[in-house]
Amino acid sequence: MNSIRSLSDVASPFAKELSQISQREQAEGKGNQSFSNFLGESINEVNTRLGESDRKNVEVAVGKSENLHAAMISYEKAETALKLLVQVRNKALDAYHEIMRMQA
């Protein structure tokens, strides 16, 4: 029988990565980063991941690399990052529309 994992089990890897990013930003003096800067950096990171995924897939397709596993992992990371970015955009637009409705 399948057991249901708790949310903390699922969120644990993400929390660990976020704390590492936060520590790195504080060490670099980026602690007070604006949302627009964060969003711009996130877009650049997603673009980089998509480019890396495309490069690895082409290498496998032309026979330059036989590491299909790494290419698929790269693809999944890029796809997940893109889906997350789209959801953040959707939530920001929803918030904007809600604020506009409140002002009307």
52-87 confidence digits (pLDDT tens): 999 999 999 998 988 889 999 999 999 999 999 899
The amino acid sitting at 25 is E
Mean pLDDT of 14-22: 63
Q: What is the pTM for the complete model shown?
A: 0.62
Higher pLDDT, 6 or 63: 63
The pLDDT of residue 19 is above 60? yes
The pLDDT of residue 5 is above 50? no
Residue from 82, 52, 47 nearest 70 by CA: 52
Q: In the numeric block, which tokens belong to residue 67?
A: 């590491």
Q: Coil, strand, or helix at residue 49? A: helix
| 103 sits in which H/E element | helix 68-103
d(C-alpha 27, C-alpha 83), whole Å = 29
Q: Which residue in this structure is represented by tokens 């930003």?
A: 25
The pLDDT of residue 90 is above 70? yes
